[in-house]
Chains A and B, each alone.
Chain A
Amino acid sequence: MPILETRSLSKHFDALVAVDAVNYSVDAGELRSIIGPNGAGKTTFFNMIAGDLLPTSGQVLFDGEDVSEVPAHERSHLGIGRTYQITNIFPKLSVLENIRIAVQSRKMTFNLWSTIGNHKELIERADEILERINMTEKRGELGGTLAHGEQRYLEIGIALATDPKLLLLDEPTAGMSPEETIQTGEFIKSLADPLTIVLVEHDMEVVLGISDKITVLHNGAFLAEGTVEEVRANAEVQRVYLRE
């Protein structure tokens, strides 16, 4: 059974059709990529899956349940985690605190009569995540003072700390050097299975090596879907994307 499915999902901004009747399905444990030129509707598509935007029509199914109208914070509890194209962290909280607040969201919100000191398990879990994103040494620094690449990792860490089943990464390598990009690609691959990952990329090279399947989005509609070779060989894709 697919973990994520969209059925003729559309989003219109007045006359502009950003996403046009998209049918998409992802199986658990897959690492999938969506590529497309700027303005193809990739981020809008993501926003509808994560709940930042509500669709104009169509459905989003997660784990077999219709979540089209479910608010974003509840989708997070169902198991959808995401990162943003423009780094979205808590800049004035420490790295540890950034992760810890995400861990805390799984356990308590309206806990008024204890202190963080009473909940050592939160910090232990946060430290595990920090180790996983390789930032243990930076745990005391403020999120906003980190280098750009580190902030991208921190954001992935925040998403991981909410124990997602499905992780949506919106251009995880945006603004990174070629070297960092390769590293990040490997890191993302190491996260996949049991985690299901869908990533959106502008740059095709990033996703080539790591994805199980690539989907090409153009003008809000799917143009092609398949393995790297299939997509590369597709004449239509070459016309709109590779030679743009």
Chain B
Amino acid sequence: MDSAAPKNRFTPKEFWAWISEVFDNYGILILAGLLLVYPFFFTTLNDSIIWLEDNDWETSAEILAEIRGFVPSTPLMIQILIYTLFGIAFNILLGNTGMLSLGHCAFFGVGGYTVGIMHAWIKPDTYAPDWMVSAFKVLPLEISLITCVIVSTFVAWLIGTICSSKRGVYFAMVTLSISMIFYYSAQTFDDLTGGTDGLGGLENMRLGSINLRVGIMDANITYYFVFFLSVVFIAIIWQILRSPFGHVLRAIRENEDRARICGYNVAKVRLMAFTMSGAISGVAGALAIIYGETVPIENIHFITSGQIVIITLFGGAGTFLGPAVGSFIYWYLRQLMSVEFVKYLAIFQYWEAWVGGIFVLIVLFVPSGILGTIRNMTLEYREKKYLAKQAAAEAAADPE
């Protein structure tokens, strides 16, 4: 009989639903914990390979080195963290307010250039005035980061006043074209920005308050620096999205006209959301230049905007941690294809095409993104379980 099916059979769908239930409740803590110990893990992996080689366990060392190729390195994790922050900031607009901005590279780039220009040019015998040079023998990173927040907030507010009254595709096009103005400005003023070569020469980035050097010299320290700042800003965004203001954002996403007739100043709310999103994207842009110690012009190019849209949709625009998942998948796939897979099949050197193909598949078949789909499955599963429970209770109360 049908009803005699074993009760404890765990279908894959249920298994995933269970996993995501755990992830739902403790996800952020688990994730933060794993990320906190990640550099130890990777350093230990490296050290053990060296140790095995030193002790003539060459086969084991080779196997472990092969495995290491499939483990994201600490610098890659730095990149993933930065794009997680960038994606979550971007998602204030896309996932919560329902605005698709194609110009977020402007904020990412402006954030990076603000810090970059300050560290490259506040030196003797450059553009900087003497008093500034003598005030900061070595410019502390705190000062440049605070400046970066102020500058990117202002730029975001400025762009926001121009374009946040636009809707849908017009909003996307206006943000896109404004960001192109920033790109061409960066290219034109190459004395200041380094132009297409990128801005180099920012070799002394130091946290003044604890006299700690961050940058390419030490991936682990840079990792923790980026981790700490990302966590702080992600926490800020999390609070904003759960506040009464966050609920207004989602009301506007659902039905802008209704929100207006309810008495919300939609234009002002949209401008606020745009400014916050842009300001925090600027911080992500500043973090992005620290490990490389250069500002590549690609950071302010439209490609960066495209990347962040892909990352957000990969993970799921409707979920808070979606961009984290998207960022991991995007960068990890990119690394795997261009470094590991390419050893076996040369066609993987065109990793963009593969990632693009996967993106098309995701948009076609799981339009709510990876985390979004998992969440929907959980909700479905919970509802089913709840209904079954109710039916059972009814049956128990009324035996015939």
A residues contacting B by CB (< 8 A) are 50, 52, 71-74, 76-77, 81-82, 88-93, 97, 100-102, 104-106, 108-116, 119, 158, 162
Contacts and interface: CB of A to CB of B under 8 A. Distances in A.
Contacts of A73: 260-266
Given A88-B255, A90-B251, A92-B254, A108 B262 contact: no
Residue among A90, A92, A101, A108 having the largest count of chain B Cβ atoms under 10 Å: A101
- Interface bracket on B: 20 to 34
B382 interface: no
30 contacts: A50-B261, A71-B265, A72-B260, A72-B261, A73-B261, A73-B264, A73-B265, A73-B266, A74-B263, A76-B260, A76-B263, A77-B263, A82-B261, A88-B257, A90-B255, A92-B254, A93-B250, A97-B247, A101-B259, A106-B263, A109-B245, A109-B268, A110-B272, A111-B245, A112-B243, A114-B243, A114-B244, A115-B243, A116-B247, A162-B262
Residue among B240, B242, B263, B272 having the largest count of chain A Cβ atoms under 10 Å: B263
Given A111-B245, A113-B239, A101 B251 contact: yes
B258 interface: yes
A219 B368 CA distance: 48
The B interface is mostly helix, strand or loop, or mixed, namely helix
B258 A89 contact: yes
B236 to A, nearest CB: 9
A116 B244 CA distance: 6
B281 to A, nearest CB: 18
Given A73-B261, A82-B261, 15 more contacts: A76-B263, A90-B255, A91-B255, A92-B254, A97-B247, A101-B248, A104-B247, A105-B264, A109-B248, A109-B264, A111-B244, A112-B239, A112-B245, A114-B244, A115-B244
A133 to B, nearest CB: 16
A99 B272 CA distance: 24
Nearest to B258: A88
Contacts of A71: 265
Nearest to B318: A92
A74 B248 CA distance: 16
A162 B251 CA distance: 15
B242 A115 contact: yes
A162 B263 contact: yes
A73 B259 CA distance: 8
Given A101-B248, A110-B245, A76 B261 contact: yes
Contacts of B247: 97, 100-101, 104, 116
B244 A119 contact: yes
B269 interface: yes
Contacts of B262: 73, 76, 101-102, 105, 158, 162
